[in-house]
A and B are shown apart, each in its own frame.
Chain A
Amino acid sequence: MKVLTLNFLTCAVKTCKSSADSFPLHPKDAELAHDDIEINPELLANVLPRIDWTALRTTSTELGFPELPAQPPTVEELEADEALLKELHSLLLETQMMEGKLVCGCCGHEYAVREGIANFLLPSHLV
């Protein structure tokens, strides 16, 4: 599971979705791995506007990465700043959460991540 993916995920429990506490999910006991992926500045710039930056900052901090700037870079800023490009590429695309849990801040449910795959199937009482 990529950090980028985490930015689009919330709790699968329907009643949690309207709560601000359900996003982003909070990593717990996370084991991270690093994939080597060739950098693609264009794709990164294109996806940037779709990212919830505030949530990304939270996730980044919770995973132990250095704090991200308060405001997202503009596409122009990103394209001009090679160091920032590399940092975001590394965080969003190359960092994988391999093991651990994703915890909903609303209902407290913990979703398991195993071998890099998060499982959002709910126990029957939560469906």
Chain B
Amino acid sequence: MASTSSSLPSASAAPAVARLAAGAPEAETNGIANANADAEAYERANVHSVYEAIAPHFSATRYKPWPAVAQFLNTLPRGSVGLDVGCGNGKYLGVNPGVFMVGSDRSAALVALARDRLKEEGGVLPTGTGVKNAVRDETSDVTNTTATSGSRSSKEGITDVLVADGLSLPFRDGAADFAICIAVIHHMSTRARRQDAIRQLLKCVTAGEAGKAAGKVMVMVWALEQGSSRRGWDEGGEQDLLVPWVLKTPQQKQPRQPKQSRKQKKGAAAQHGQEGSDAVVVAHHANKSGEPPVPGPVPGPAQDQDQQEPAAPATDAGGGVSHTDPVFQRYYHLYRKGELEEDVLAAGGLVLESGYEKDNWWTVATNNGPTLSEEQ
């Protein structure tokens, strides 16, 4: 099908770093509706527009499924129907070839990437170094993979993608046997919205009624407790942060300054993006005056180049940070131990299983039937 071009935003249309236009979501407002609208506007500026701008770059560093998620997917019965809410570049959609999965994401740019890559790879995303030049560049070989033509292998699963908001999902109630939501809910800026997101996920899966197996929802979020990482975040710390994404532009043949090369990885991944570099941390919820959050200094040694976020275990996204590389700030709520389970319960779900995997909390929950009807 001739649908190769995607509508990615041009670099010039990217929002500026300091575009923290909307007020802090939990600031005092005139009511719930206003607070929600504020939170929405805040997330638009500090999450959605950032992903639109960094989509190709972000996607290039996101290809390894988290083991806990892969394991969850691989234990599902054949023929299960599932959703991946916040699917990003679609890296989980092809993990289990025996199921039918529909991915959705708020970012049209990421969904277009997911569609193109799934099509090209025949349902299987490239592993390792498949994508080289992350930054959009007409002259670069954005992927070095070859599109397959003709009939695709029967070993693939069936996948599809669409654009949707996690709080207004277009899936009919009980439509799916399972849903996953990986590295998404921590981008929602109020607890009510995070719980509502979980409630929407639970509604999408089959309720545990007589004769019917209850659908399962797996949620994974970034943990506050990251004692083993070098980000400097741990128990008791600030949970609401702005985390930078450094958009690496292709390295020009210009002399590097010693300061840049100090942390430079050996060549290979120099054009990948990564985040956490010079991690600017913002505690916007400490601010109750309704003012936009203001970047503050980094508490702790968060200066390494190997930082990952939940969606990217073990990618090697090194590379020096140039002063000209644009930096985008994304809002995160870091979950403390036990908080995810609390949110699942508040949403009316039943926690089946929980765990921690390298800087992330995850939980598998079911739709507990009647309790879900208490929707706000």
Q: Of A37, A96, A98, A124, which is in contact with the most chain B CB atoms at under 10 Å from its CB?
A: A37
CB–CB B98/A46 < 8 A: yes
CA distance A5 to B162 in the complex (A): 10
| Contact yes or no, A117 B111, CB < 8 A | yes
Q: Which of the 9-residue segments B151-159, B275-283, B347-355 touches chain A?
A: B151-159
Q: How many B residues face the partner with a CB closer than 8 A?
A: 44
Q: Which of the candidate stretches B54-62, B66-74, B163-171, B337-345 sits at the interface with the other chain?
A: B163-171
Q: Judging by beta carbons under 8 Å apart, are B162 and A118 in contact?
A: yes
List residues of chain A with CB within 8 A of the CB of B3.
98, 115-116
Query: Which of B37, B152, B163, B172 gathers the greatest number of chain A CB atoms within 10 Å?
Result: B172
Taking CB atoms and an 8 Å cut-off, the chain B residues in 80-112 that contact chain A are 80-81, 98, 100, 102, 104, 106, 108, 111-112
**How many angstroms between the C-alpha atoms of A55 and B174 in the bound complex?**
15
Cβ-defined partner of A43 (8 Å) among B7, B37, B78, B167: B78
Once the chains bind, are A36 and B172 in contact (CB under 8 Å)?
Answer: no
Once bound together, how far apart are the Cα atoms of A120 and B81, in whole Å? Answer: 20
CB–CB A118/B163 < 8 A = yes
A85 to chain B, nearest CB (A): 13
Task: Specify which of B98, B104, B154, B177 lies most central, judged by the most chain A CB atoms within 10 Å of its CB.
Answer: B154
Is B115 in the interface zone, CB < 8 Å from A? yes
In the bound complex, residues from chain A placing their C-beta under 8 Å from that of B106 are 121
Cβ of A36 and Cβ of B168 under 8 Å apart?
Answer: no
Contacting residue for A127 out of B40, B102, B115, B162, CB 8 A: B40
What separation, in Å, do the CA atoms of A47 and B24 have in the docked complex? 45
Smallest Cβ-Cβ distance to A51: which chain B residue: B81
Cα A37 to Cα B156 in complex, Å, equals 10
Contacts of A37 in B (CB 8 A): 151-152
Distance (whole angstroms) from the CB of A79 to the closest CB of chain B: 13
Chain B residues in 8 Å Cβ range of A12: 164-165, 168-170
Report chain A residues within 8 Å CB of B221: none
Q: Is the CB of B151 within 8 A of A117?
A: no
Chain B contact residues, majority secondary structure: loop
A40 within 8 A of B: yes
- Whether A43 contacts B160 in the complex (CB less than 8 A), given A8-B175, A38-B151, A116-B1, comes out as no
Query: Are A5 and B160 in contact, with the CB atoms below 8 A?
Result: yes
> Does residue B161 face the partner (Cβ distance < 8 Å to A)?
yes
Whether B151 and A36, one on each chain, are in contact in the complex, defined by CB atoms closer than 8 angstroms, is yes
Question: Which one of B77, B150, B161, B172 contacts A8 once the chains associate, using CB atoms below 8 Å?
Answer: B172
Closest to B4 in A: A115
A9 and B1 in contact, given A36-B152, A43-B79, A93-B158 (Cβ under 8 angstroms): no
| Contact status of A36 and B150, CB under 8 A, knowing A46-B78, A50-B81, A115-B3 | yes
CA distance A17 to B168 in the complex (A): 11
Residue from the set A35, A47, A111 with the largest chain B CB neighbour count within 10 Å: A47
Known A12-B165, A116-B115, A120-B165; contact A96-B1, beta-carbon cutoff 8 A: yes
Q: Is A56 an interface residue (CB 8 A)?
A: no
A39 contacts chain B at the CB level, 8 A cutoff = yes
**Cβ < 8 Å to A, chain B residues 1-58:** 1, 3, 5-7, 37, 40
> Among B154, B158, B163, which residue has its beta carbon within 8 angstroms of that of A119?
B163
Is the CB of B176 closer than 8 A to any CB of chain A? yes
Q: With the chains together, A38 CA to B111 CA distance in Å?
A: 24
Known pairs A38-B153, A120-B169 / 12 extra A-B pairs, C-beta < 8 Å: A4-B100, A8-B81, A8-B172, A12-B168, A35-B1, A42-B78, A43-B158, A46-B79, A96-B1, A120-B163, A121-B168, A127-B40
- A residues at B contact (CB < 8 Å): 1-2, 4-5, 8-14, 17, 23, 33, 35-40, 42-43, 45-47, 49-50, 93, 96, 98, 111, 115-122, 124, 127
Enumerate the 8 nearest inter-chain pairs by beta-carbon distance, A residue then B residue, closest first: A46-B79, A120-B164, A10-B172, A120-B170, A5-B160, A38-B154, A12-B170, A119-B163
23 A-B interface contacts by CB (under 8 A):
A2-B160, A4-B160, A5-B102, A10-B171, A11-B170, A12-B164, A12-B165, A39-B154, A43-B100, A46-B78, A46-B98, A47-B79, A47-B81, A98-B1, A111-B170, A115-B3, A115-B7, A118-B163, A118-B170, A119-B163, A120-B163, A120-B169, A127-B168
Question: Using a CB–CB distance below 8 Å, which chain B residues touch chain A?
Answer: 1, 3, 5-7, 37, 40, 77-81, 98, 100, 102, 104, 106, 108, 111-112, 115, 150-154, 157-158, 160-165, 167-173, 175-177
